[in-house]
Structure 1
Amino acid sequence: MKKAVVLLSGGLDSAVALYLAKQQGFELYALSFDYGQRHNRELEAAKAIAEKAGAKEHQVVSLKLDKWGGSSLTDSAMEVEDGDVDRADIPVTYVPARNMVFLSVAASLAEAIEAQDIFIGVSQVDYSGYVDCRQEFIESMEKTINLGTVMGAEQNRPIKIHAPFVNKTKAEEIQLGAELGVDFGLTWSCYRGGEKPCGTCDSCLLRAKAFAEAGITDTAL
């Protein structure tokens, strides 16, 4: 069976990406990160999602990006601001170069296990404006990975980055997830953590908007 490394945060996007990789016949190697984020709810969710999806492996890599902060997700001195689904600026929840770091680690794991496929659940349509969720970044990163790995540069076994939702709305993604049997109740999106989602951060607002547009009940609430 062909192998795929799937970046699994525990959120909505990555959960659907995991199930899509499964539906496409990949053996699943889920990869999550403890990067110094302000809560561990997503990591708890990632563990539950990986188990339910039947992942072959689920690794959690420690990368303490909170050592230099620069984001309200990794710097306790910064507040997570209330969300605005119509915002045009980059919010303070942007973690500097996070997806670049994550995809680099995913590429290392992929080469180690001889997997030619990496899945990431980013979107440039319905998201918070993050620069590392855009298609041009994903395409550039794929090229860089294949210049910097033996598989890509010497063995003619290029590594493909799958970003299946990059041009899809979250509502379309949720509809696909429902078809694939994703248990949305296991996912966690809220930036603030806590016992229940806050309902007011960017991620909570985007999630609520998407479920309403999809006409599907969010079982995580």
Structure 2
Amino acid sequence: MPNKVVVIYSGGMDSFTVLHKAVQAGHDVYALSFNYGQRHVKELQCAATVCQQLGIKHKIVDISAINQLLAGSSLTDDIDIPEGHYAADNMKSTVVPNRNMILLSLAVGYAVSIGANQVYYGAHSGDHFIYPDCRPEFVQKMHDVCQIANYEPVDIVSPYLQQTKIEILADGLAMGLDYSQTWTCYNGRDKACGKCGSCQERLEAFALNHTTDPLPYE
């Protein structure tokens, strides 16, 4: 019997690669996406399309009501999206308070309910500077608590935790993945802006892998 796993799947390039990594490992994958009140749903639309094409069981859960509690992020509030690289201090405005702990907790609850023993998510080393909930110590603590939070232990798996987006993309390209099926830009316009931290990191990853990003840019 294939191992049943839950993959937190935003529709972005990191979680897209994680999803395919779990599929190619032979797991029985249940994809879980969240509408937490982010500025647009283009990533979620990408996620739905990919899961439909792959025949993967997929849920999109609306938890946008939590925005009544989580203020101050440019991803969810009426605050300008910062431009520049993730190494810049102004990118801290893109932190959504406690987001990954909330999403992982919900995903673990879902995993227990369907008999899955692992939850995958796409934290990587490029996120460590800005996002505390993508750092190895956070992932380890979440893994530890999810061993005892229910009668059934659930593992938190971050296959790219120590790797950069450049290395994630290299792995995905080696798997033959089509990154036109993903969306990364913080803005939800017809074309990616190319200026926000998310776009800049993505473009850098493609450049350093000596290939062209298939997404259109403004």
Same fold (TM over 0.5): yes
2:178 to 175, 180, 183: 183
Helix, strand or coil for the counterpart of 2:81?
coil
Counting matched residue pairs gives: 213
Q: Who is 1:61 aligned against?
A: 61
203-212 vs 79-88, which moves further: 79-88
TM-score of the superposed pair, with normalisation by structure 2: 0.92
Aligned-residue sequence identity (percent) comes to 38
Q: 1:207 to 1:131 in 2, by over 3 A?
A: same
Q: 1:168 to 1:104 in 2, by over 3 A?
A: same
Q: d(CA) in 1 for partners of 2:29 and 2:72?
A: 32
Q: d(CA) in 2 for partners of 1:108 and 1:24?
A: 23
Q: Who is 1:70 aligned against?
A: 72
Q: Who is 2:111 aligned against?
A: 110
- Does 1:173 pair with 2:141? no
Cα displacement (A) at 1:128:
6.0
Given residue 129 of structure 1, which amino acid in structure 2 is its aligned partner? Answer: I
The unaligned stretches of length 5 or more in structure 1 are 153-158
Q: d(CA) in 2 for partners of 1:211 and 1:54?
A: 28
RMSD: 1.5
Q: 1:30 to 1:104 in 2, by over 3 A?
A: same
After superposing on structure 2, the runs of 4+ consecutive aligned residues of structure 1 that deviate more than 4 Å are none
Given residue 72 of structure 1, which amino acid in structure 2 is its aligned partner? Answer: S
Q: 1:71 to 1:161 in 2, by over 3 A?
A: same
Q: d(CA) in 2 for partners of 1:184 and 1:216?
A: 11
The unaligned stretches of length 5 or more in structure 2 are none
Q: Who is 2:138 aligned against?
A: 137
Structure 1 residues 1-221: aligned runs within 5 Å: 1-55=2-56, 57-64=57-64, 65-68=66-69, 69-76=71-78, 78-88=79-89, 91-125=92-126, 129-152=130-153, 159-221=154-216
